[in-house]
Amino acid sequence: MVTPAIETIVKMLEYQPEEIQSQAVEHLQMWLAELDDEARWDEGFARSQKGLYKTAQEARKQIAEGKAEPMDFDRL
C-alpha cells in the first residue's frame, strides 16, 4: 500500500541524482532494519516479564528465609 507520505518521498527523490537516491534507499533500509530489531527486542522483553517477576519473588523469599548470600563481585 502506497501512502501519500511514501508518494511524497518518491517525488522528492526523483529529482535527486542517482547517487543520492541510492544513499537515501540505503539509509532507509538500515533504519527499517533497526525498527524491526527494536520491535523484536520489545516483544521478547515483554514475554520475559512474567519470568523475571517470578524469579524476583523467589529471590525475595530466599533472602527472607536467610538462604541468600551477598554477591561477591570479586569472584565473578
pLDDT digits (tens, 9 = 90+) for 24-74: 999 999 999 999 999 999 999 888 888 888 999 999 999 999 998 888 888
pLDDT score recorded for residue 12: 95
Mean pLDDT of 8-13: 95
Cα dist. 32→26, 48, 59, 73 in Å? 10, 24, 39, 40
Mean pLDDT of 8-33: 96
pLDDT score recorded for residue 75: 83
Cα separation, 53 vs 45, in Å, equals 12
- Spatial contact of 68 and 59, defined as CB atoms under 8 Å apart: yes
